[in-house]
Amino acid sequence: MVIVMVNKKYEKIVKRHQPKEEREKNALLAFLVGGFVGLLGEALIQFFCCKFHISRSEASTFMMITLIFIASFGTALGFFDKLVNFARCGLLIPITGFAHSMTSAAIDYRKEGPIYGLGSNMFKLAGSVILYGVVSAWFFGILRLLIGGGA
Amino acid sequence: MSLKFKNVYLQESASVVGPYEAEGPLKKYFDKKYSDLYFGTNSWEKAEVKLLKESLELLLKKSGINKEKIDLVIAGDLLNQITASSYAGSPLNTPFLGVYSACATSLEAMLLAATFIDCKREKNVVIATSSHNMSSEKQFRNPTEYGAPKPMSATFTATGGVSVLLSDEKSKVKVESGTIGRIVDYNQKDPFHMGAVMAGAAADTIYRHLTEMNRKVSDYDLILTGDLGKYGKEILIDFMNEEYNIDLTKNYNDCGVILYDTDRQKEVQAGGSGPVCSALVNFTMVLDKLKKKELKRVLLVATGALFSPTFVYQKENILSIAHAISLEAVE
């Protein structure tokens, strides 16, 4: 009983009633919130550098761990998803979004047990980020070797 | 295919809802309201089972019918393998049919029930459906705690369970006729715009119902689609006008827009959806108005997007279907 009716008229009506997303507002908000997360990261690096007398690269590792903790803890307490919904890409693009995707999946699937639930579903959203992150890191590493001689 | 029923009556209905529906404009019509989405269970899936189970128990209590008297239960929901219906229907220990038409499930069940009763095969048939915002979100979209923003055209799965008792005994509301929908494909691919996916199915079913029954839009006090939402509703009005030259501007509305106050409850975005969305409007407020004779004849058109994430990722169109039932206040 499948009727394949590609109806131009229908598609035109759908297009006419397509709601307009507030792209400019969303972009500005993401820019401001994302910028604030960057500022927070830099402040944390400075803090760790001065407080514990460690190098900048070591301090940036601690900074990332701190941001991941904040995002994961906020997700577990149930308010971080509302912040993400509000700030959108401002919180999804930084490392906070990555942590949020893993924690939220872990919370949802822990009911199905540690193996079939949490273990196999925790990377449901983050898996793609890891895979293509690693692949593109390899690709750019090669490029860097070819162009700059690995320096 | 349209069917006319001679002796099928709607006896009683029972509804259980979650917090968002309990804050909506129809709150006074619901039998039981919860303020927590877990409903005292420890998972979203079990919560949905509980909703449906409670609505069935409430239905038995409200209608005063003994469960041995129920000949058949027809139920369906959105969870994979329609498990909420199976687990909720199991304690009743009656013959059981599971059905699936996505958000048009309630009326598919009612069409079957009415046919069984009309041909005198069964006497008392219960139909039931449920959906749960979080269990649907987890199954069809992202983890529930993931705050990914959705486009404005997205709808919000309603949380609730509804059960309805039909029989051949005369009551205040008659199940007068119905139309079985066709599977429709209007080349839609956006899982965040189900209104656009389903409006075509609604149009097809409304048009076929009116022509096959030889009726006009004005023969109905109200025509209600299931869960097209704000934008789907506009699409249907325009498409009916341009394609079939039928004017729906006077006595048409959509359950997804009625169930919530879309201005105040911003989280629902374009409106409610899910199998229980239309049932929560049709078998509470609309039924009440029919009983009080404030409405004489109503055409219910439940719309379902036959959506599977797998097929969408494999670049297939989203199919849809709409079933219709006409309810009449008995003089």
Chain B residues whose beta carbon lies within 8 Å of the beta carbon of residue A5 = 184-186
Beta pairing, strands B32-33 & B9-17 = parallel
Quote the CA–CA distance of B229 and B193 in Å, as a whole number. 9
Assess B231–A contact: CB distance below 8 Å, yes or no.
yes
Which residue out of A5, A8, A9, A14 would a mutagenesis test of the B interface target, given it has the greatest number of B Cβ atoms within 10 Å? Answer: A14
Q: Which of B144, B146, B185 sits opposite A4 (nearest CB)?
A: B185
* pLDDT tens figures, A41-96: 999 999 999 999 999 999 999 999 999 999 999 999 999 999 998 888 999 999 99
Per CB-CB distance under 8 Å, the chain A contacts of B193 are 14, 18
CATH number of B2-167: 3.40.47.40
Q: Which amino acid is at A42?
A: E
Mapping DSSP to helix (H, G, I), strand (E, B) and coil, where does residue A143 land? Answer: helix
Find how far residue B188's CA is from the centre of its chain: 22
**d(CA A131, nearest CA chain B) in Å:** 19
Q: How far apart are the first and last CA of chain A?
A: 64
Q: Same CATH fold, B173-329 and B2-167?
A: yes
Give dist(CA B157, CA B118) in Å, integer.
Answer: 33
**Res. A5: pLDDT tops 90:** no
Taking CA–CA distances from A79, the nearest residue in chain B reads: B145
The one-letter code for the residue type at A136 is: S
All residues of chain A having their beta carbon less than 8 Å from the beta carbon of residue B43 are 111
Average pLDDT over residues A10-34: 93
Q: Is the pLDDT of residue A1 over 90?
A: no
Q: Give helix A56-77 / helix A23-52 axis angle, nearest 10°.
A: 130
Rounded distance between C-alpha atoms, residue B288 and residue B293, angstroms: 9
* Cross-chain Cβ contact A111/B239 below 8 Å: no
The pLDDT, as a whole number, for residue A77 is 95
Instruction: Return the number of CB contacts < 8 Å for A and B.
Output: 101
Between the two ends of chain B, the Cα-to-Cα distance in Å is 27
Which chain A residues are Cβ-neighbours of B242 within 8 angstroms? 9, 13
* Spans of chain B, pLDDT less than 50: none
Amino acid at B19: P
Structural domain spans, chain B? 2-167, 173-329
Q: Give the residue ranges of DSSP H helices in B64-179.
A: 83-89, 105-118, 133-140
Which of A13, A19, A101 has its CB closest to that of B239? A13
The reported pTM is 0.93
The vertex-B204 CA angle with B198 and B207, nearest 5°, equals: 135
Q: Is B319 on the interface with A (CB under 8 A)?
A: yes
Inter-chain CB proximity B319 and A103 less than 8 Å: no
What is the DSSP code (8-state) at residue B17? E
pLDDT of residue A6: 52
Give pLDDT, residue B44: 96
pLDDT value for B306 = 96
A100-119 per-position pLDDT tens digit: 999 999 999 999 999 999 99
CB atoms within 10 A of CB B309: 11
Which backbone phi and psi does B70 adopt, to 5 degrees? -80, 125
Fold of B173-329: Peroxisomal Thiolase; Chain A, domain 1 (3.40.47)
Note whether B186 contacts A104, CB cutoff 8 Å. Answer: no
Pull the structure tokens for residue B218.
């004005």
Instruction: Identify all chain B residues contacting A78, using CB atoms and an 8 Å cutoff.
Output: 145
All residues at 6 or more sequence positions from A50 whose CB lies less than 8 Å from its CB, including other chains:
none
pLDDT value for B331: 83
Partner-chain residue, chosen from B143, B183, B185, that has the shortest CB–CB distance to A105: B143
Beta strands in B50-159 (DSSP E): 72-77, 96-98, 124-131, 156-157
